[in-house]
Amino acid sequence: MCPNTDTVALHGWTAVPVDADAIFEGKPYLNEPTPVPLSEIPWPSDDPIVAKVDEYAKKNLPIETYNHSMRVFHWATIIARQQFPTHASSLSPSTLALTCLLHDIGTTPTNRASTQLSFEFQGGFIALNLIQHQLNGPQSQAEAVAEAIIRHQDQGTVGTITFLGQLIQLATVYDNMSERPYLVHPDTRKEVATKWKRNGWSRCFSKAIRAECEEKPWAHTTHLGSEKFPNGVRYNALMEEYDGWMDA
């Protein structure tokens, strides 16, 4: 028996298809999205580990990446609530927040240069060490965050992934490439993008992807397409009105 089986639902370990089309049964969504005010998406600031990781993220991430992480938290919360309410009712908001804060920690120039690992793996190891060993967080939570970060670009059609990992995939590709654009109501999209400004995120992240692939031609990112992926990020039409200097 695996350890900590009593925390499977709490930390998003439930196995779901890695194929998002299978989850949505070939439809744009399972339930029609409705507006969700920011006031109804509370940040778990009362959790001391979340508070400390938030400080760490603010210190170590560029503002563009930090804002992206906060948008991902909001997209993920909305998608979970409206599309997967059973999973959402059990998932720890703190575990989701930690994953969102740290999912791109491996993309910083310092962290990329410190290892030959692909950024998702480096990020997962950083998160595991920070949460479990430095902050004495629960093992199941730390490992759930690490697994989701390592696999948050592991898109495919065969096999399974944790619910947390799939949720982060859905939220990140929504913010980065506007895949499944109907998952979030336009009113909510505007409110979140206004609060957590993109500041040219499409261009910023596209450059980070290209840097990763040039520095590490073996990088896991390449399985998404060395040209297709960064171009898809840069020319994100759905988010263009919020990007500011996308064409610079």
- How does DSSP classify residue 14? -
Residue 243, pLDDT score: 85
Q: Locate 129 and state its tokens.
A: 């060490």
Is 233 a domain residue? no
Torsion of Cα atoms, 62 then 67 then 69 then 71, to 10°: -170
Domain that holds residue 124: 10-18+45-197
Residue 178, pLDDT score: 84
Is 60 a domain residue? yes
**Residue 103 · residue 151 · CB < 8 Å:** no
Torsion of Cα atoms, 68 then 73 then 74 then 76, to 10°: 120
Strands (E), 12-146: 15-17
Name the domain count of the chain. Answer: 1
Is 224 a domain residue? no
Is 98 a domain residue? yes
**Residue 85 · residue 29 · CB < 8 Å:** no
Residue 231, pLDDT score: 67
3-state secondary structure of 225: coil
Is 202 a domain residue? no
For each of the chain's 248 residues, which pLDDT tens digit applies?
455 567 999 999 999 999 999 999 989 999 999 999 999 999 999 999 999 999 999 999 999 999 999 999 999 999 999 999 999 999 999 999 999 999 999 999 999 999 999 899 999 999 999 999 999 999 999 999 999 999 998 888 899 999 999 999 999 999 998 889 999 999 999 999 999 999 888 888 888 888 888 899 998 888 777 777 766 667 677 888 888 754 43
Is 222 a domain residue? no
Q: How many CB atoms lie within 10 A of CB 198?
A: 25
Domain at 55, CATH number: 1.10.3210
**Residue 4 · residue 140 · CB < 8 Å:** yes
Identify residue 147 by its one-letter amino acid code.
E
Is 23 a domain residue? no
Question: pTM, whole model, 2 decimals?
Answer: 0.93
- How does DSSP classify residue 129? I
* N residues, the chain: 248
The Cβ-side half-sphere exposure at 159, using a 13 Å CA radius, reads 8
Is 110 a domain residue? yes
